[in-house]
Structure 1
Amino acid sequence: MARYSNCPQSYEVFSEFMDRCLLKDQSLIWSDNNAWTLENLRKIKTNFIDNSIDGGEFWSKLFKQFSELNDDCWRVLADAFFIYTLPSTYMKPEKKYEYISKVTEKRNLELPDFDNYRWDALNEGFSRTAVQYHQKYKQLWLLIRFAISVKEQQNRELFLNDHLAVRDKLFDLVKNTNSTDRSYGMLNAILHLGYPEKYERALNLGHKHKIVDYYSNKIDKDFNKEMNIDQKIKIIRETLEKDYQEKEFDFYFPQIKEQWLNNSGNGSNGNGETEEDPFLDELVKTLRNKKQIILYGPPGTGKTYYAQKLAKTIIAQDNFEKDYVQLDEKEKKTLNLELSDNRNINYLRFCTFHPAYGYEEFMEGYRPALSEDGQAVFELQDGIFKKICNDARDNPEQTYVLIIDEINRGDIPRIFGELITLLEADKRWSENNESEAITLTLPASQENFAVPKNVNIIATMNTADKSIALLDIALRRRFGFRELLPKPELLENQTIAEINLAELLNHLNNKITEKIDKNLQIGHSYFMKKEKAIKKEEQLISRMKDEILPLLQEYCFDDFNTLAEILGSNLVNLEQGRFNKEVFSFAGKEVILTSLKSMLNGENDNG
């Protein structure tokens, strides 16, 4: 089934659209108004589609085309923008709401506030929409024409229940356009949102052709000449799902997409199309909803990697409507951690908590400085979080992110102080809710302070650190939490000296979980370099000697009996209470490789 688990409310909204707007003529947002009548849609077609205006800014042209139409036509337009924004994970919810409110403000139509549950679906989406999709006109063009074609059916319900008839009609509407036309984005969005069991979430028609081209040689015997491309993809999906071990199969899972897209390995296929990551999309959704998130898990599971990737993704999407790899050099500099943190164009900041880190470094406090005459003095200085909040308040349309690495290593109540009250999303400041935001007086500067809505916090937490148990309950409630666990599947295709890295990682972690603690597992990144599995024997030996063996020794508190139960007896000298001296000698390479093979084969198993 092609339904994407990340956007259940998007499907619900589109189902409402089909029922209310297409079948019953009602408005999606204002259900008491019969706005989607054939008469109103034809008026919109005449003014908006048949009398297009060449050149000029989109919104100015749009409002001019609608200027003589009635309020219900404007309601149709607002509803259409609601539907238009549903597929996109690139547009932040505030931007989606802004499109709708631009229409309603122009006509003084009452609109539910952004915090209303009605707009929860705006925080979802199923596609990293490209610049083409953001140009709006052709998507609205197709949506209006499709609605007219539904209204002209003798039996609307019978027509909408026939997904093949709907598909034929949509393709008939775009038959005179090029296959790269922007309208195909809306065409594929309608098919997927309306019939997610039948149609993939690919908005790009070229992607669908690439999927069929890649897999057709494996299953072309199941195709027939009358099948359309979507029917072929459905057969491909059903075939692949049988062999796929994950609960959910998706053509945009990184390891799957890399196959059919012939990915170059650097996050882009060379044509500006980015590598999708459903887990990253989930993180973006959580961060936009909660405004702060903690990524936690054992060491080596990619917490800091994902923190930086998430930060760059949400800033690029919110501030530039692109993916990070699509930014130009000037845009990328706004995410450069080496820039001075007092520059308000630096959207990304970074700090690491530790036992000596305090409120003074984070918010404000008196710190040593030199006076103009060179004397040592204490002066009141702003901390990193106060600085980023001030910059964000001066630039409310831009998204800012602070990464806090190792958040649980600091004295969190002392560092955050009164911020615990201000962090919750519904207590934050924005231009639209200034009277509702919670403001506190800072103890040192006596300034009134509120946390802006456009500041996000991404924190990392290592579960191998026992201080996680002491994490402040108030902080737990205010942050979204996402666990990152070892991913042996990233290593399953790599074998070194007859040692499969995925099997090795699984074996070690099974033993660690059994003998020590599941929170002390070893992450996949110990066997990776630059997002790829290591390939050389020397790399494997180095990772074992320099990182994994010392880590396991620490985990076991120098209990070499437990170490032997995990690693086998070949690497451990129980009598002397240490690793065998050959391990770290010149001959250590062969000793380690032989021991790892024996361990995976169940030989010398002390457990």
Structure 2
Amino acid sequence: MSATENNARRVRLVLELLADHPEGLPKTAGPEAVFPQVFSQVPQEEHEAELLPSGLSRAEATLTWSSVDLVKAGWLKKSGRGLWEITPDGRQALEDYPDAPTLVTEARNRYNAWNALSSERKNEQLRTTIVAVDKDEEAVRLAALPFVERGLQDGDSVFAPGRAIWATGPLDELRSVFVDAPDPEAGNFVEKLEVQLAHASDDARLLMAELVCWQLLPISPGAIGERAKKERVQTLLGYMDHPVQIPTEVSKAFKSGSFNPGTAMSNNLYAALVMIIGLLDGWLRQTEAEKERLLGDAWAWRDFVNDLPGHRFPTQRNTLSYIVHPQRISSIVSEKHKLAIRAAFVGEISADTTDVDRDLLAIILKLQQKTGGPVDFYEEPFAHAWNQQPAPDTEPDPEPDAEPPAAETARSGQRRPFPPADAELADSLFFDRGWLQKQLDLLERRGQVILYGPPGTGKTFVAMKLAEHVAGADEYTEIVQFHPSYSYEDFFQGYRPATTAAGSLTYELKDGPLRRIVDQALKNPEFNYVLVIDEINRGNLAKIFGELYFLLEYRDRPIKLQYSKDDEDSFVLPANLFLIGTMNTSDRSIALLDAAMRRRFSFVELHPDKHPTKTVLARWLDHHDLDGEPAALLAAVNGKIGASDFRIGPSYLMPKGDRFRPGQLEDIWEYDILPLLTEHHYGERIDVEKTYGLKALRAQLDTPPPAAPGPPDPVAG
């Protein structure tokens, strides 16, 4: 039979199988699933079994697309649990269209009717409302809805539904402790809030957290990153006696944004919050009829926001207008940009008016209909047209909070400086704070360092501690270990085999640890991220880094990647990403490293004979009130090892339990240290046990071995 005839038989069989299983069946998982049963009864012929780039065979792909027709026809339901279920209309279709080809044709006709209706709805939306420019703005709009529907409309908490906090009582508390109270002298905005809210109720604290969240929500990660938003809101929630959690839909939207507002909204949070508190105060004074009018009429709401008393703060006022009515008021919050855009595109409408927001709505609707999609004035082909326009004669005086030029809006977040080396870091490593501060300064200045030295000097442990200190938490770091078979595809990005739902093999572009942490760093430019590369010298560095070698030296230069999708797909290594490598010098000398790698990294030596590693074991023993013999033994054995790169590091003699159990020192010497020295002296006529054994070293130190443990003390009767 032809492929078309076979597919028609399979489509009908899908509905018949589901009619026999009203509880539903999975699509592919298990022998009882839909696809395995269908293809066992109507097997694929040779011309249908050809694999497509998706990894599905032609027959599987065709049946998958036909299942979409069934869904749009109303005959098949695909549940969120992964089950396919027949609908009552689907059962009726089996009776109405007993002939398989006729059933498939009818399903296709119904799909076309749905598609035409869908297109009509889309065109109507483009004609009447401002469409979100991308998924990020869509996420912000969705997350902002509860602030309108629960907060403004119902007076209810967004984070803890059922608590009436968008109300006069909690608001009066905020006005008393925040707006009318004197500003605390010390601390940043969040620290001052802790003082101001110290005697407020939990409802008032929760309201402040929600208002701050509402203010931060539409700001793009280029101005305030996901981590900064989340950190600020979570800190405020932490001031509550009984904290609540940020809703998932709001937390997810923190990584998105609608606009970059410039520096004032990011830095002048006090003025922004005063305005938002004033807005809520004005809102609560309105009658129910007036509230309904303000939420139903974008221009009435815009005028209400603009008439609020206080600081002019145009970007914050424009934000409050947009966040409640994003389908009528554009996400452009800079007055200067609004005027320039209107001047550039006013030809799209009959004539401009004195109302820039209404003109922008009319311009956007015209352009949406022309292009068949959303309009982003900060992207081509629109950005060049208005960004070259001379300033209109009606342009207001420059605002302190105006946006930077369009070309500068991509990344304006300022990276936080490294936290200084503190006592906690020094104590955890048994290093001097001065030495640690020197290495932190070096890493911050150069961007990438390599810790090198013999085995057991704690290179990886030190690297991970430094990474966590710089990034603030280990969740903002990545660690990877190089080895001879490690590749660019493993490290950065490459195609990997994957299995489709139908069980066929395909290939997908997968991100490696470097790409993953770069993506995080780009979304959170205020924060530091660290990638630790353990055993960096064991990999083929030219093969692993590829074109990324260039970026280690020129962080601000975009390059094309090996798997770039098009000419505009460029990549930069962000300035807030730092690399720490570790290198075991018993495996390979620094002199044998690739010259390009030596030039791009700074090298920090950790050696048992040199500061600070030299004193680590003695400090550790003293801290845990242990006998100093292990430090003396380590010094003695290293004194006998001629090659500097093969000397033993202190970490071998620092067990995880923070003390030695009986016989553990002897075990470490026999099973860890002596095998290393045996390998070092391989082929030489040296009796390793006689030279480096504990008995010989203790005799040299004139130290008797510890007494064997005696019988247990008798239990007192």
Taking structure 2 as the reference length, the TM-score comes to 0.41
Larger Cα-atom Rg: 2
